[in-house]
Structure 1
Amino acid sequence: MITATAVRHTHPLTTLMARHGLTAAAYLKRVADRHQALGFGAMAHRKEKATRWTREGVTPERTALLAIASLHGIDFADVDRYGWPGFLLLALDDDKAVLESPWTVAGTVTSLTDVGGPVDRRGFLIASTSTLAAAVAQWITAEPALAVTGPGRQVGAEAVGLFDTRLDALRHLDDTVGADEVYDAAVLEIRLITGLLKNASYTETTGRRLFAAGAEASRLAGWCAYDAGRHAAAERHFIASLRASASAKDPTLGAVTLAFWANLRYNANDPHGALHLIDGALADRHKIASPRVMAMLHARAARAHSKAGQPTPAWRQVDAAFDAYSRADVPEADLASMYWINHGELHQVAASSALTLGEHHRALENFDAARTHEDPYDTERETRGTLIYQARQAEAHLALGDIDAALDIGHQVIDAMGGVGSARTTSTLADLRGQFTDHRHIRGVADFLDYTA
C-alpha cells in the first residue's frame, strides 16, 4: 500500500521516466533533441544531470524547462505557474479512471479501485468547471446497484455493519489526531469494500449498503487528503464517493460528499465552483433526509459566498443553516457522520464568514456564541477545528487592535498544536503569523513570531 509518507517523497521526474520506460540517459536525449528543435541550441544529456535534478535539488535552466514542457505537451505558462518540478505533475494523468469511467455500477467499482498513483500533486485541482457540472448531472441520473449472484461467497448485513462501525471509529479518530494515519486506514477500508463488491454475492439491499460504505470511506479519505494539503488526491476520492453514493441510491450521502468537496473548492480559491456543487446537492433537496446535512450545505454556501466577497447571500445562507438545524432531532436519530453539526459549529461558520467579509465585531460575537451556547462547539472532541477557529478569533482581535487578546489566543493555539497532523492547521497558523508581522515592533509580538518561526 502507498502511504501518505511515501507519496510525498517521490520525485515526479523519476515517475515520469519510469512510466515512459526510459533510462535517465534516454530521457535526457529526448529533452536535448526537443531543446534543439525549439531553437535553443545543443544541450548536454549525460545521465548525471537527471540525478542533479531529482536528488540534489538542482533546477534545470530555463530553456531546459521549456524543452521538458514541450516534450510532454505542457503549456509554457504552466511552467511559471507551478514551477519546478510542479509543472511535471500535469503530465502524470492518474485521473482517467475516476473521471472518465461510465456512471454505472461497474464504473463505480473501477473508480473505487483506483485510489491514485504514487505522486502527490499537492495543491492541484483535477476537476475543471465542466467536470464539476458533469459530475453533478450524472450523479442525479446514475443507475443504482442491483443484487449480485454468482460463485462468490454470500455477504450479508453483518459484514456491512462491521464496516459502518469501523468507519465511525475512523471519523472520531480523525477529529483527534488529524489526517495522515486516518487516510491510510480509510484507503484500506475502500480496498476491503471494493474486494467484496467485485468478488462476493449479495442482495440488492446489501449491495447498496456496501456502496454506501464505499462512499463514506472515500469521502473520509478525500477529507483526510484535503486536510493534508493533497488536493488532487482529495478530488479523486470525492468523485469516487459521489459515484458510490449514486450506486447506493443515497442522495443524502451524495449531498454530504458534495458539501465536503465544496469546502475544498472555496478554500482553493474557487468559491463559484463550490457554489455549483452545493446548488447541485440542493437541487432535489426534498430527497435529503437529514436536517443536519441541509444545515451543513447552507453553511458551506455561506462560506463560499463570503470567499467570493458577497455578504448579502452569505448571511442569507447563515440564516438558512440555523433554520435547517432547528428541525434536527437528537444526533442519534440523524446520519451518523453528522454528529458534529450543532449550534456551536454553525456559529463558528458564521464567525469565519464574518472574518472573511471584514466584519470583525460580528465575527467575535459568533466566536463567543460558539463557545457559550447551550449547544456549544465541542472543543475537546474537535481538537483540530478548535485550533483553526481560535487562530481566526485571534485574527479578529488583531484586526480590531486588541493585540494582547490576539497574543493570548495565539499562544493557546501553539500550546495545543502538538500531536495534531493537519496542513490546514499549519496554514491557518501561518496566516495568523502573517497578520502579526506588521506589529513586530511590539515586544510580545516579536517574541511570538520568534517562538513560532
Structure 2
Amino acid sequence: MARDRKRVTRWTRGGVTPDLHAQKAMAVLHGIPEYEITARPWPEWLRPACMRDRELLDAEWTPATTIDLLDHVATTGGPMDRRGFLVVTGITPVLAGVATAEPAVANPHGRRIGATTPELFEASLAILRQQDDQLGSGQVHASARAQLHLIITTVKTTAHTEEIGRRLYSAAAEAARVCGWTAHDSGHHALAEEYYLVALRAAASSDDQAVTANTLAFWAITRYSGGDPRGAVDLVTDALGRTRSIGSPRMEAMLYARLARAHARAGEHRASDRALAAAFDAYDRARDRTPDEEPDCVYWVTLGELHSWAASNATDLGRPNVALAHYEAIPAAHRGEGYDSQAYPRAAALRLARTAEAHVAVGDLDGAVHTARRAVDYMGGVSSARGTSSLTDLRARLTAHNTVPVVQDFLAQTA
C-alpha cells in the first residue's frame, strides 16, 4: 500500500472501497478490532482511529478533563456536518466511567460567583428546551452551543465553591444534552453521540442524578435509532437505577417508556409491553404532584406522550390496530391535561405522520390522507430533520396507492 499511492488516492477521493485484506491490514495498524470491519461499512469503521473519538472514550473521568472535552466538542462540533455512524461500540465501559467519575471541586481563582450564576444558566436552559419545542432543532442548536460555551468559560475563569461548581457542571451537562438532542433531531447522530458522551461526563461530575438519567434517556433514542436497541436498553436500565434518589414518578414514566421503545425496536413484544405498563403505572403516581415537585426537564412528559410512544411501539411490532387505538386516546388525554398542541408543533406533526402510517397499514387511505394533511400543516416553519423524514416516509408509503384519487391529490399537492 505504501508503494501504491494511486490506490490510496482512489480510496480517499475516488469512492473506491479497499478489498478486505487491505481493510484488515489497516485495522491492525490502527489497533481496531477486526469485528469493526463487518459491524460498520467503509470508511466508518476507521472512526475509532481518530484522536477526537479516542479522546472522548478513553480520557480520564475527572472534572478538568471533562471541561476540556466539553470545550473541544463545543468548539469543533459545528456546524452540524457529521452524519457518520455512532461513535461508541460498547455501552458498558461508558457506564463504568460514570460510576467512577470524580466530582467537581471548588475553584479559588478568578472573580468569585455565587448561586445566582448557575440559577441564570438553569433558567436559560429551561427556555432553550421550550424553544426547541416551538422552533425545532435546526434553529436552536446554535443557541445551545453558545450557552455551553458560556458555561464552560464560567467554570474555567471564576472562583466558586464546590457546590456552585457542581451546579455549573450540571448546567454544562444539560446544555451539552440539548446540543446532542438538537443534533440528533437534525439527523446528525454521530455528532449527537459526541455531545451525549461529554454531557454524561459533566453530569457524573455534578452528581446530579436527574441530569444524568435524562442524558442517558436521550442518548438511548440515538442508540435505538442508529440500530443498537440493546445499547439503548443498557442506558435506560442504568438511568432507572437512579430513580429512587431522584424521587420523580414523571421521570420514571419517561424512562420506562424509553425502555419500552428500545425493546420494541428489538422486536421484543413481552419486554416492551411490561415496560410500557410500568410507564403508565408510574405516570398515575405523578398525577397529584405539582411541577415544583418534579425536575424541570420532564415538563413535557404527558399522558398523551405515553399513548404516542405506545402507538409507535405497536407500529414497530406490527400491530397497526393497537397503534390506532392509542392514537385515538390522545385527544382526550390532551384535553384532560390542558395540553396545547400548538406549543409542540414538531411533536404533533410526528404523531400525525405516524398515525397516517397506521391508517395506511389497515387500508384506510381516506383517514391516512386526512391525517397526513394535518401533519403537513403542523410542520410549517419548524426545523426538524426527523419531522421532514417522517413526512417523506409517509409519502413513500402512500405512493404505493397512487392510483387512488385522494392519494393522487395529496401527493401532487405536497410534491
TM-score normalized by the length of structure 1 = 0.81
Which of the residues 217, 223, 234 maps onto 1:265?
223
* 1:347 pairs with 2:318: no
Amino acid at match of 2:105: L
Q: 2:88 aligns with which of 107, 110, 127?
A: 127
In structure 2, do the counterparts of structure 1 residues 359 and 234 end up closer, same or farther at CA, with 3 Å as the change threshold?
same
Task: Give the residue type in structure 1 aligned to 2:53.
Answer: D
CA deviations on 1:69-89 (whole Å, 9 max, x unpaired) are 988969899699657x87886
Pairwise CA distance, 1:32: 7.6
Indicate if the aligned counterparts of 2:44 and 2:85 stay in contact, CA closer than 8 A: no
Take 2:159 and 2:258, find their aligned partners in 1: how far apart are those partners?
39
Give 1:148's aligned amino acid.
N
Name the SS of the counterpart of 2:83 in structure 1: coil
Aligned partners of 1:367, 1:376: CA distance in 2, in Å? Answer: 17
Q: Please state how far the C-alpha of 1:302 moved relative to its aligned partner.
A: 0.6
Which residue does 2:115 correspond to in 1?
157
Out of 157, 179, 192, which is 2:150 matched to?
Answer: 192
Partner AA of 1:429 in structure 2: L
Q: Kindly provide the amino acid, as one letter, of the partner of residue 218 in structure 2.
A: F
8 Å CA contact 1:252, 1:289 repeated in 2: no
2:127 aligned partner, one-letter code: A
1:292 aligns with 2:244: no
The answer to whether the 8 A contact 1:292-1:324 is kept is: yes
Contact 1:342 1:376 in 2 (8 A): no
Question: Is 2:374 aligned against 1:412?
Answer: yes
Query: Residue 445 in 1 paired to residue 407 in 2?
Result: yes
CA 417–32 in structure 1, closer or farther in 2 if over 3 Å, else same: farther
Partner residue in 2 for 1:379: 341
Q: CA deviation at 1:291?
A: 1.7
Tell me the equivalent position of 1:13: none
How far apart, in 1, do the equivalents of 2:338 and 2:232 lie? 27
Give the aligned partner of residue 357 of structure 1.
317
Q: CA offsets per residue over residues 37-80 of structure 1, 9 Å max, x none?
A: x9xxxx8x9xxxx9xx5xxxxx4456799989988969899699
Q: Secondary structure at the match of 1:94?
A: helix
1:432 aligned onto 2:389: no
Contact 1:175–1:383 (CA<8 Å) still a contact in 2? Answer: yes
Partners of 2:129 and 2:242 lie apart in 1 by 27
Matched, 1:179 2:133: no
After superposition, residues 106-145 of structure 1 pair within 5 angstroms as 106-115=64-73, 116-117=76-77, 120-129=81-90, 132-145=91-104
Aligned mates of 2:96, 2:247 — CA distance in 1: 20
Residues 374-403 of structure 1: per-residue CA shift (max 9 Å, x gap): 126541111111111100100111111110
Contact preservation (8 Å) 2:23, 2:37? no
Identity %: 41
The one-character-per-residue Cα deviations of 1:104-123 (angstroms, maximum 9, x if unpaired) are 11122122112245683304
1:185, CA displacement in angstroms? 0.9
Q: Is the 8 A contact 1:31 1:71 kept in 2?
A: no
Change (3 A) 1:68 1:184: farther
Q: Are residues 360 and 168 of structure 1, via their aligned partners in 2, closer, same or farther at CA, if it must alter by over 3 Å?
A: same
Q: Find the structure with the greater CA-based Rg.
A: 1
Deviation at 1:360, TM superposition (A): 1.5
User: CA–CA distance in 1 between the matches of 2:72 and 2:300?
Assistant: 30
Rounded Cα–Cα distance in structure 2 between residues aligned with 1:452 and 1:77: 41
* 1:205 and 2:163 are equivalent in the alignment: yes
1:324 Cα deviation (Å)?
1.3
* 2:389 counterpart of 1:389: no
Q: Distance in 2 between matches of 1:403 and 1:356?
A: 20
CA contact (8 A) 1:292 1:341 kept: yes
Give the Cα separation in 1 of the matches to 2:318 and 2:338: 24
> For 1:369, which of 301, 322, 329 is the aligned residue?
329
| 2-structure distance, mates of 1:377, 1:227 | 22
Note closer, same or farther for the CA distance 1:311–1:334 as it changes in structure 2 (3 Å cut).
same
> In 2 relative to 1, CA 448–78 (structure 1 residues): closer, same or farther, beyond 3 Å?
farther
Residues 332 and 286 of structure 1: is their aligned pair in 2 closer, same or farther, counting only changes over 3 Å? closer
Aligned positions, number: 404
8 Å CA contact 2:307, 2:327 repeated in 1: yes
| Partner SS, residue 309 of structure 1 | coil
Is residue 403 of structure 1 aligned with residue 362 of structure 2?
no
Note the aligned Cα RMSD (angstroms). Answer: 3.0
Whole-Å Cα distance in 2 between the matches of residues 277 and 222 of structure 1? 15
1:135, 1:384 → 2: CA distance? 31
Q: Is the 8 A contact 1:208 1:248 kept in 2?
A: yes
Q: Distance in 2 between matches of 1:154 and 1:137?
A: 34
Runs (4+) off by over 4 Å? 59-83, 85-93
In the alignment, the residues of structure 1 paired with residue 295 and residue 106 of structure 2 have an alpha-carbon distance, to the nearest angstrom, of 25
Q: Is the 8 A contact 2:104 2:165 kept in 1?
A: yes
* Gaps in structure 2 of 5+ consecutive residues: none
Is the deviation greater in 324-333 or in 68-77?
A: 68-77
